[in-house]
Each structure stands twice: as C-alpha cells, then as structure tokens.
Amino acid sequence: MSQQIFVNLPVKDLQQSMDFYTAIGFTNNPQFTDDKAACMVVSDTIFIMLLTHDRFKDFTSKEIADTKKTVAVLNALSVASAEAVNDTLKKALAAGGNEYAEPKDYGFMQQRCFEDLDGHNWEITYMDMSQFPQ
C-alpha cells in the first residue's frame, strides 16, 4: 500500500466547504463523511478532511488558528499542466475563494494561489522539469 496524506482542515460551515471543494474538482467519500466531518478525495493518495471546529478540537488542545488573519500552513498541490493551474484557480474563484498572490511563472514552474472559504491557503503548481535551469 502506498503512503497517503490526509490534510485536516477546521471549517466553519461543513456543507459550504464541501461545496467549495467539489466545485474545484475534488470528490466526496461518503464512507468517511458525517455531520461533523467530510473526506474530500484529491487523488488515490491525497485526501482533505474537512472538520467542524467541534470535531477538530477532538484532535488537539491548541486553539484553532483564525486563518482569515494568520497563516497556519501553505498547502501546495501539483497539477498536470499550466492550463490546469489556471482552470483550478478559475473554479476556486467561482466557488467563493480568493486569489491572494499574483500568478508566478518561474519558467519551469507556474503557480497560482488561492484561499478557501475559511482562509486556508493553497498553492496550485505545474512543474516542467525539462525546463529546469541547469
């Protein structure tokens, strides 16, 4: 079995967050979804666990960061093409997300950044290693 990653995000409105991530192309795994948590599938090995604040608090004694005011983590996700970078950003904006940085073109890598409805930051990137400077 390959390693998997589960990114756990506290969210204020579970259904709105599920709708947002569905709009940008993730799918829901109902097997791991209830009224306090939702598993959004990015790929066979990457999952986003959306947790209500009450459910998130079951896993930590620390205060939940207000990600509208502070950055707790930058989530970076690679996609298959530069077009997919722009397509993902368009979907995020249409679903209520916010682009928080100017698009970047490093020659070998294109990157666009958005925050979700709760302010969690995402960097969407495409890398063409054949263009990497030697």
pLDDT, tens only, 77-116: 999 999 999 999 999 999 999 999 999 999 999 999 999 9
Residue range 16-36: mean pLDDT, rounded: 98
Residue range 13-23: mean pLDDT, rounded: 98
- What is residue 39's predicted lDDT score, i.e. its pLDDT? 98
Residue whose entry in the numeric block shows the structure tokens 């599920």 = 18
Classify strands 121-127 and 98-99 as parallel, antiparallel or unpaired.
unpaired
Average pLDDT, rounded, for the chain:
96
Q: Is the pLDDT of residue 30 over 80?
A: yes
- What is residue 81's predicted lDDT score, i.e. its pLDDT? 96
CA–CA distance, 97 with 116 (Å, rounded to integer)? 5
Torsions phi, psi for 56 (to 5 deg): -60, -40
Per the structure, the count of domains in the chain is: 1
Phi-psi sector, 42: left (phi>0), alpha (psi -120 to 50), beta: alpha
CATH of the domain at 69: 3.10.180.10
For residues 17 and 11, the answer to whether their CB atoms sit within 8 Å is yes
Q: What is the largest CA-CA distance in the chain?
A: 51
Range of the domain at 59: 5-131
pTM here? Answer: 0.92
